[in-house]
Structure 1
Amino acid sequence: MKNYDAIIIGAGACGLMCAAQAGLLGKKTLLLERNDKPGAKILISGGGRCNFTNLYTQPENFVSENPAFLHAVFSQWTVEDTQNFFENFGGIQGEEKTLGQLFPKSNKAKDIVAVFSKLMFETKQDIWLNTEVKDVEKTEGGFEITFVKDGKTQKIHSPKVVIASGGLPVAKLGASDFALRIARKFGLGIVPTAPALVPLTITGKDADWYASLAGNSIFSKVYNEKISFEENILFTHWGLSGPAILQISSYWRPGETFSIDLLPKFKMDTLIKQEREQGGRRTVAQLMNDYFTKRTVEAFGKFLPTTVKIASLGKNDAKLIVDTIHKFKVKPAGDKGYDKAEVMRGGVNTEELNPKTLTAKAVPGLYFGGEAVDITGWLGGYNFQWAWAAGYAIANDL
């Protein structure tokens, strides 16, 4: 066995960046990955295109008990650093799509992973694939890692260990609770975890109504008392999905209700008033057809007076239409779980970690980065920016 400055567990975004940066600093690391290739989640992100950062990244774009924790990490590694890194080492130029999301111009996530593979090869970092880490023990000189490779249980020692093994989504990509188990073993606090950036389910009496709209996408403003997002929502056979729903899911808790403004760029009361001024000869359905699909209008016809002419519309009915369109209430039954979630909410409490180096305050030499930490970004490249920044911060302390 070689002598390593650190062993990194997990070849996801954080682990790969950590190994690459350590190599550039002249350090020697070993990366242990349970899958048969590195960067499994990177490769499927953004539909295989990988939105690798977001131009507008700020601590406010993250769900955490302490978002301010990010200031120390993001001051070391900025969005500009991410852009320069991929351009300098991989010739990858970013292209903004929507809302600051940056994709490689090639639209290929594999190009992002290739940058790390190349750097690790050039700086002589080691990576063992198909290697499942079972345990981490503290020893007098550092740590002992127990792992299974080629059907054999083995042990290796290292002065420092980086836990970058991700969170609980998605099991088929090798996700596990390993990072949480190790954190608990060393007495570190855990913020309760749950699926985030996840579709929401509707059951009961409203289920058939939602299912009747399956496949319909509507640009909307989804909001609760904490936050709002303006993007598309998607009706499905089991409830709601689409970017705006995934975003609000990170702020939603079971039993809570949130609202949807289905026409955020217009005011329904103004549209009704304008119709009245023109004689009000059209029906409510005809007015709604200007802004919604026929199937959407038909669905709303089940509880709105869509067949009534605007001129005959009473005050109460007009208010019902306005409130339904702009304050559509949704009380999900639950979510689609970790296998459909983009990320995990919660994780290792940031209070347990040094904000500059991400080492555990109570266990020097043990680092946590990426999804395992109570830092959950919005949809659109924010989680990658956190992972790259965390990997860089850790590498500089190894």
Structure 2
Amino acid sequence: MSKKYDAVVIGGGACGLMCAVQAGYLGKSVLIIEKNDKLGAKILISGGGRCNYTNLYASKENYISENPHFLNSSLSQWTVEDTIAFFEANGIYGQEKTLGQLFPKSNKAKDIIDVFANLCEDLGQDILLNSSAVSVEKNGELFEIIYERNGKDNKITAPKVVMASGGLPIAKMGATDFALKTAVKFGLTLTKTAPALVPLTITGKDQQWFANLSGNSIFSVVSNDKISFEENILFTHWGLSGPAILQISSYWRPGEIININLLPDINIAEAILKERQHNGKKHLSNFLSQYYTKKFVEALESILPIHKNLASLSKEDLLSVENFIHHFKVKPAGDKGYDKAEVMRGGVSTNELSSKTLESKKVKGLYFGGECVDITGWLGGYNFQWAWASGYVIAQNI
């Protein structure tokens, strides 16, 4: 290709698209190299195809990183208000769901993609689909980018390269470790990577008990010694999922125990004592049925004296009920891996990048943004906010 570009962006996801558009506003020419046959593959599947594109309450407290303060610059340069204004200016108006999650009113992730596709066309930014970046080399002041397209290797040069190719989750969506490999190749340090926002598995003697409850969802507080989340959990054939489990998974490490309060707003022992003053003949199973499904209550038969009436429950029985309901201990065997993970934890160390520009400190002209950096957001639009912000920040500096 003979056209001269100010930068080549590797990856046509959230970060890469925002970077190309914002660079275009500044009169900079950018080429996006995208492996898939369409832009924003992960955007299209996010939020069940509805795209939770930001969170009204996003702050650095909602992110995991070895250095959370690194985010301050990016999130102040491009705020949640900036995200909302950007999309509204392009016809996307948000509707808030739970916990500050913002979705397009159309509930169509494709509308988000269309905004970027149209803007890239209007701004003259070029996009190569079905093109896989193979290598990035530095040759003097220029980078040489080799990419494979239609079975042939091609080369293009540019003074700046933006690594926005995402992380390891969901290989079928085109996820690769190309950004991580490129970082290592140039001598940058990586923070250990692992699946995040991922369902957790249960094996051994308890596996069947969880499998039998597959499909049951319970509003809970899920916690470990680091943090707690108050949302639904979902029993599955392999263990546990649901928003609260996905959230805690980013903080969980193998071998650790998770505590689940299955009735966070009511003290179960006090409720039982109050009820038995009026109806001591009621069975514990019937009492619990006001809070849980019949299937879940039946599953408690092997754990709690559910066939006793309330009047005959001993102090030990009450303690057993209280401990199980409010302190349900789970020791996951593992997680469902990158194919089921929403994002990757870890990545290019923030120590390697300028917090103000996201440029590599070691390699002038090389930038990293989005999921490949050691910045992992909570479930609920936080990772998109980081992607938009990092794309904007990089665009100001390429």
- Cα deviation per residue 1:183-206 (whole Å; 9 max; x = unaligned)? 111111111101000011100000
Tell me the distance in 2 between the aligned counterparts of 1:169 and 1:12. Answer: 13
Match of 1:362 in 2: 362
Return the alpha-carbon distance in structure 2 between the equivalents of residues 122 and 296 of structure 1: 55
What is the rounded CA distance, in whole Å, between the counterparts of 2:300 and 2:364 in structure 1? Answer: 59
Question: Residue 7 of structure 1 aligns to a residue in which SS?
Answer: strand
Corresponding residue SS for 1:301: helix
**Alpha-carbon shift at residue 275 of structure 1 (Å):** 1.8
C-alpha displacement of 1:309 = 1.3
- Give, in whole Å, the separation in 2 of the partners of 1:264 and 1:68: 32
CA distance in 2, matches of 1:358, 1:10: 16
Written as runs of structure 1 = structure 2, the 5 A alignment for 1:138-177 is 138-177=138-177
Which runs of structure 2 are paired with 1:1-398 in the superposition (5 Å)? 1-88=2-89, 90-398=90-398
Task: Classify the secondary structure of the residue corresponding to 1:364.
Answer: coil
Q: Which amino acid aligns with 1:320?
A: S
- Provide the rounded CA distance (Å) in 2 between the counterparts of 1:273 and 1:26: 71
CA distance in 1, matches of 2:202, 2:371: 28
Percent of aligned positions that are identical: 65
Deviation of 1:276 after TM superposition, in Å, equals: 2.9
Whole-Å separation in 1 of the counterparts to 2:167 and 2:384: 14
Compute the TM-score of the two structures, normalised by the length of structure 1.
0.99
Aligned residue pairs total: 397
SS state at 1:134 partner: strand
SS in structure 1 of the partner of residue 98 of structure 2? coil
Q: C-alpha distance in 2, partners of 1:252/1:297?
A: 28
Runs of 4+ in structure 1 off by over 3 angstroms are none
On the 8 A contact 2:54/2:101 being kept in 1, the answer is yes
Could you tell me which runs of 5 or more consecutive residues in structure 2 were left unpaired when the two chains were aligned: none
After superposition, what is the alpha-carbon deviation per residue over 1:29-84, rounded to whole angstroms, capped at 9, x for unaligned? 00000101111100110011001000000100011111111101011000000000
Letter of the 2:49 partner, please give it.
G
Deviation at residue 154 of structure 1 after TM alignment: 1.4
Supply the AA of the counterpart residue of 2:336: K
User: What secondary structure sits across from 1:362 in the alignment?
Assistant: coil
Give the letter aligned to residue 17 of structure 1.
M
Aligned counterparts of 1:188 and 1:255: Cα–Cα separation in 2: 30
**In 2, distance between residues paired with 1:267 and 1:241?**
25
Structure 1 distance, partners of 2:280, 2:197, is: 43
Structure 2 letter corresponding to 1:230: E
Q: What letter corresponds to residue 60 of structure 1 in structure 2?
A: E
Distance 2:175 2:146 in 1: 18
Q: How far off its partner does 1:277 sit?
A: 2.3
AA partner of residue 75 (structure 2): F
Amino acid at match of 1:343: V
SS in 1 for 2:259: strand
Secondary structure of the equivalent of 2:209?
helix
Give the letter for the 1:285 counterpart. S
**How many Å apart are 1:279 and its aligned residue?**
4.5
SS in 2 for 1:329: strand
Provide the C-alpha distance between the structure 2 equivalents of 1:71 and 1:16, rounded to a whole number of angstroms: 22
The one-letter amino acid of 1:147's match is Y
Cα distance between partner residues in 1 of 2:69 and 2:288: 44
Deviates more, 1:14-23 or 1:313-322: 313-322
Q: Aligned AA for 1:59?
A: K
